[in-house]
Every structure is written in structure tokens, then in C-alpha cells.
Amino acid sequence: MNKKILLASLIATSSILMSVGVARADESLSPIPKISNEWTIDVTPYVWAPNISSTLNYKGQYLNTADVSMNDVISNLKSGGMIAGEAHYGSWGVMADLVSATLQKTGTTSVTPASGYNFRLAMKPTVQQTILTGAATYNLLNNQNANVDGLLGVRWISITATLNLALDGTNYSLSDSKTVSTVDPIVGFKGRYRIADSTWYVPFYADIGSGGGTTNLTWQAMAGVGKTFEKWVDVALVYRSLYYDMSSSKTNGAGLLQKTTFQGPQLSATFHF
């Protein structure tokens, strides 16, 4: 009987010690990176499903026809890939982010010219975009609860907007396409804020820039919530917005495409090496 009691006590004690060890391990797990004089690399594949709204200019008329909802992005995505990466040594680092996708939507709209007759136009706007952001970073704040990096870099975007129109009931149709490619300097910041000394955190990012030629203004922002599961991986869900305001002058390469907004949820997993 005493042996049984002793054995039960040992098992209970071992369980308690294991629980304490797990608790201590959880307490030591932090979503805030530590600055060290060693190379660290983060790779982040992600899925971003934004609503896309593009204002098109055809023959001097503005057409808000290239509107693609998040459901349309999922159902009408022809091809795409999204990945980001960072490398740090001490307070300095570099980052890159790539988004590539081809989207297409079909629909009809009513047009009433001055004659008073009502016509139906069949439309098929297509948006093909590749967005590459690269920047150098420098740590501005690092403690147990927060990490903030300043960044200075460029964003390259290539967007091809194609608008196909057909007048219902007739053989009349027309098509126009324009490709915009521009590189714009950007400045901004990014980081994480730890929630209540836990493994949960708030990721955030913001930048702004302008090319002064094709681009009047571009900005990007995101924020959400994330959780570190192990030292080598964490997962985040954020809401991300990217905006471009292009010049209407055809002489600088814009013309057809005017303003484009990408905004929607993004789910990512970051692997630390």
C-alpha cells in the first residue's frame, strides 16, 4: 500500500514538474524578435484576398468598371503568387514583398446617351498586376513588448488594364489596353506589439511614396493579430490596403488606368531561420 502511495506521489510530482516546465517554456516564448549580431532570416508565404477597385479612363470618360470583390478574386484568379522575406543583422536589415496576380470579371451595364435610348454594354475588364516592394530597415525600438523598424525603399508595380466593350444586339465592339509600370520611392515603418506579455501580438506596417511622374501618390498599410506557436513559426491575420493614384496624362504612361485600391484580409505564416 505504501509503495502504491509512493508511486502515485511520484507520478503526481512528475506531472506537476512537467506542467511547470511547459508553463515556463510558454512564458519564455515571445513574439518580439531579439536584436543580435547574427544573421536571422524570415520567410512569409501568404494569401491576400483583396477587393480591387480600378478607375479607368477611356476616351476622356471615367469608368468605374474594374471592380472585383473578394469572392471574385477567389473565383476569377487566373494565376498568382505571394511571398515576403526579411534578413537582419544587428539593427540593420532588408525586406522584400512580392504580389503577382491576374484577375478578370465580366458583366453588363446600362448606358443612356443624349438621344434618350437605353443601351446595354457588355464589359470584361481584366487587371494583371505585379507588385514588388523592397526596402532597407533599421531598428528604432526593441524591448520585451514592442519592436519597430523604420524603412526606406522602393515599390515597383506593373499593371495592365484591359477593357473590352460590346453593344448588346449589335456587332459593335471595342477594346483598349494600357500597361503602367513605375518605380516609386517609399518611406515607412513596421513592427509588432506584444499583447499582455503573451504569445499574441499586433503586427503593423505603413508606407507612403510618390514618383512625381506617373504616380501622384501611393501608400500601403496593414494591421491585425498574430500568434507565435514556436520559436520558428508564427501565424498572423491582418487587413491590408494598397492604394495607387496615377496621373491622367497619357504622355507619362498612365492614360487608361487612373486609381487602384487593393484592400482585404491576409493570412500568413512566418518561418524564422
**What is the CA 252 to chain-centroid distance, rounded?**
27
- Residue 265, beta-bridge partner list: 239
Q: What is the pLDDT of residue 214?
A: 77
> For 34, which DSSP code?
P
Q: 3-state secondary structure string, 82-106?
A: EEEEEEEECCEEEEEEEEEEEEECC
CATH homologous superfamily for the domain 33-272:
OMPT-like (2.40.128.90)
Per-domain residue ranges for the chain? 1-30, 33-272
Compute mean pLDDT per 10 residues along the chain, 273 residues long, and list them: 43 41 56 94 94 65 53 59 96 96 68 58 71 97 97 90 68 71 93 97 97 83 97 97 78 58 94 95
Q: What is the pLDDT of residue 194?
A: 98
